[in-house]
Structure 1
Amino acid sequence: MEFELEDPLTSFQDHQSDTVPILFTSESDHMPSQNFLISLKTSDSLASFRREAISYMSQFARNLDPFVPYLAVNYMDRFNSKQEIPQGKPWVLRLLVVSCLSLAAKMKNTPLSLSDYMREEDCIFDAQAINKMELLILDALDWRMRSITPFPFLQFFLSLSKFQDPTLIQALKRRASELIIHALNEIKLLEYKPSIIAASALLSASHELFTLQFTSFKASILTCEYINKVVGGCRRT
């Protein structure tokens, strides 16, 4: 069954209001560790490794559903939070990227031909090597692959607004999703919970697309008991 990023807890059901508290209380479990964030800020080599990995991933995922590489980066960041990555070995980066993409594609039930990744310059990855790396990632993540990302919070925050026009709502949701995906490389965003990123993306999308309604839309989002002043800082990131 395909894993829905917009409904990670009950992918086979419509949005359920009673799942919202669970999303908010569980989202921190699907974020990188604080030690990893500190290392990203203080280690040029680790930050460079992440940028290069995302760049490498985007090259091979450009024809895929954009949610697949987003999920793959979530796996990669969480894995790197628990495992020290050897420096100066490009093949390790490539193998990690390919394996995270493979796992994300499986979760999203998206066809992915690993033959495109088996040979990269002088590095050869066979199916056994990729499968072994996948198991290492799964073990490090305690097999918690149904990641909670910003996307399930978009519909919730939109439901708090007074917007009734389905076209307007879809435009906001689509633009907010684009902003979230395009900001994937921003290290500072890793400091914020997925819900904060979602709220900030919607506010930015609203200000961009429907300026006159921005103030009322912002007020509706800030009525949420789970949201605080952190949203403003995230928007400025």
Structure 2
Amino acid sequence: MNLHLENPFGEEHKPEAIRKLFNVESDFMVAEGYFESANASIRRQEALQTIQQYSRNDDRLVPYLAMNYFDRYFSRRPIPEEPQGILNIVAICCLTLALKMRHSEFSVTAFLNEQNLNMNMKHITRMELLILSELKWRMRSVTAICFLDFFISLFNIDDQQLKANLKDGAITEVIFISMQHTIKFTQFRPSIIAASSLLAASALMFPARLFEMREAIESCQFVQRGDLSNCIQGIISMWIVNIVKTLFPPGDPSAPS
């Protein structure tokens, strides 16, 4: 069965199912201190580039899921600085595992042929098994996307199309955060990233109701205000950096110093 990130365990969105997601989300996070490692940040950038290079364009959630696997694995088994080839194999295997989870008909052999990757299937299988073992076979990841419907239900929005648009905007924000070169967002629980992404999307769609929506999210017993505030500040800083990069490309003499 294909993995649906909105509902990884295939359970109805009842209170007990939501409570379960909050209770187990920490099992799907990176190891402590990962976001503070400069070496991990550099290697993560390299893996991100590999995953983006070989991702198909028909499912934006595949590279997102692949990075979830990579971060969880890499934070527990740091790859030595020397062998770049090993990092590439790990990144590609995280991608093939994500493709398998999202698309049951996926074929690794066909993928390698399509991408002109000269890789040994035995090496791929061995690395996939190593990743699976390190992640304790927890491949139905509890990610930020799992919590979006719950947080949206806290808002008084009757229009179903507006709800759908808000959710889509939040998913875009979640993926944007994950696929950035910065490693710092891996410190936050998935639910905090979900809440922050929803508020970021709400700021564009419902600016007049933003304070009300933040209060609704903060009323949730599982949300820690300090973490929410820090994550939101991180998103704002990321926005500013990306706006500056867009307005002042590298080499532009008028770029701010």
Same fold, TM-score > 0.5, yes or no: yes
The equivalent of 2:132 in structure 1 is 138
Computed over aligned residues only, the root mean square deviation of the Cα atoms, in angstroms, reads: 1.9
The equivalent of 2:2 in structure 1 is 2
Give TM-score scaled by structure 1 length. 0.90
1:124-144: CA deviation from partner (whole Å, max 9, x where unpaired):
312111111000001111111
In 2, are the aligned partners of 1:31 and 1:78 still within 8 Å (CA)?
yes
1:47 aligns with one of 37, 41, 55 = 41
The equivalent of 1:73 in structure 2 is 67
The equivalent of 1:162 in structure 2 is 156
In 2, are the aligned partners of 1:118 and 1:126 still within 8 Å (CA)?
no
Counterparts of 2:115 and 2:18, CA distance in 1: 43
* Shift, 1:223, TM fit: 1.3
Q: Where in structure 2 are the equivalents of 1:16-31 lying within 5 Å?
A: 16-31=14-29
The equivalent of 2:232 in structure 1 is 235
In 2, are the aligned partners of 1:8 and 1:148 still within 8 Å (CA)?
yes
Counterparts of 1:112 and 1:69, CA distance in 2: 15
The equivalent of 2:77 in structure 1 is 83
Larger deviation, residues 106-115 vs 90-99? 106-115
Query: What is the SS of the residue equivalent to 2:137?
Result: coil
Counterparts of 1:116 and 1:154, CA distance in 2: 32
The equivalent of 1:188 in structure 2 is 184
The equivalent of 1:35 in structure 2 is 33
Larger deviation, residues 146-155 vs 54-63? 54-63
Q: Where in structure 2 are the equivalents of 1:83-162 lying within 5 Å?
A: 83-109=77-103, 111-112=105-106, 114=108, 115-117=110-112, 124-162=118-156
* Shift, 1:111, TM fit: 4.9
Counterparts of 1:84 and 1:207, CA distance in 2: 38
Uncovered stretches (5+) of structure 1, i.e. residues with no partner? none
Larger deviation, residues 154-163 vs 61-70? 61-70
Change over 3 Å in CA distance of 1:120–1:61 after alignment to 2: closer
Counterparts of 1:210 and 1:60, CA distance in 2: 36
Counterparts of 1:136 and 1:14, CA distance in 2: 32
* Shift, 1:236, TM fit: 1.1
Change over 3 Å in CA distance of 1:179–1:158 after alignment to 2: same
State whether structure 2 residue 13 is matched by structure 1 residue 15: yes
Identity %: 35
Counterparts of 1:46 and 1:82, CA distance in 2: 11
In 1, are the aligned partners of 2:69 and 2:94 still within 8 Å (CA)?
yes
Aligned length: 230
